Amino acid sequence: MTDTYRNIPSLSERYRPYFRIGAAVNAKSLNTHRDLLVTHFNSVTAENEMKWEEIHPEQDRYEFAKADALVNFAREHGMFVRGHTLVWHNQTPAAVFLDDLGQTATAAVVERRLEEHVATVLGRYHNDIYDWDVANEAVVDAGTGFLRDSRWLQTLGDDYIAKAFRIAHQAAPDALLFYNDYNETKPDKSERIYKLVAGLLDEGVPIHGIGMQGHWMLDDPALDEIERAIDRYASLGVHLHITELDVCVYGNVHGTGGQSQEVLPYDDELAKRLAERYRSLFSSLRARKDVIESVTFWGVADDDTWRDNFPVRGRKDWPLLFDVNHGPKQAFWSVVEF
């Protein structure tokens, strides 16, 4: 461990009485951000390495090397692993939904492929991964609809989510299985997520938790909106994880228009505002430690964040607790000093 990390408190140790502290990692960051990970985190999530197109790019071919490296890293350092993700409308090969002639495959064929994929992946990691995001981003953001019009919905019908959870439970009966989504605090979408999970529970589907992604901004959503959503979900009696936390310093990422195009310098004022936002967020999360079990950042430090390319490609953002040189930001101190 270098001196850079020796003289600052460990984030995960500081939060051990409250909840696990995780980070999304990739094959590169396991090496480039190793010291930060080992010092400050006790849980990891694969940023992309366990998504279908990465781990199972062709029907008869799996690529486990990167996912194995992540699991081995976690095992070596006594970390938890969150599995992410099994059923999603993105990053799933189109061939999953096609037959040998390139035509739309039947529901029976697609369901059999899902069963085989889940059995293979969860079977490989059943001793190491205890939490899985089974279904990801399956409800609509706005309007009068309910479920997203994905290939999964089109092929398997309205009960495809229930099928996915039952398949995952059969493959890994001891794993906690989550529904994961963004804009999870917005009133309309929050109610859709609540309706979905409540309906699955009523059907006896083995769903155990809700993953709140937490791709938030400096001023949005309001803290009371976040708290209402957490409390509403907690009323279902399920596990709650914050799964993809970061704080964009720009405008609305998942809005329906008018996203900010401005470019800001990371000056003292912005650093202060970010620290204040993180302070209020973690104060609220600590107060809900009885229902929040895990908080995972979507990234480790500002030198490697998806926010640099979304919603404006190539625009620098500073959404995490560690800066581009892996040093603790003012936001870090606002989270550990309370």
Among 115, 225, 244, 276, the active-site one is 244
227 part of the active site: no
Beta carbons of 117 and 164 less than 8 angstroms apart: no
Beta bridge partners of 297: 23, 245
Q: 157: left (phi > 0), else alpha (psi -120 to 50), else beta?
A: left
CA-to-CA separations, 229 to 104, 188, 190, 214, 254, in angstroms, rounded = 38, 11, 7, 11, 17
**Residues annotated as catalytic (active site), given as ranges:** 244
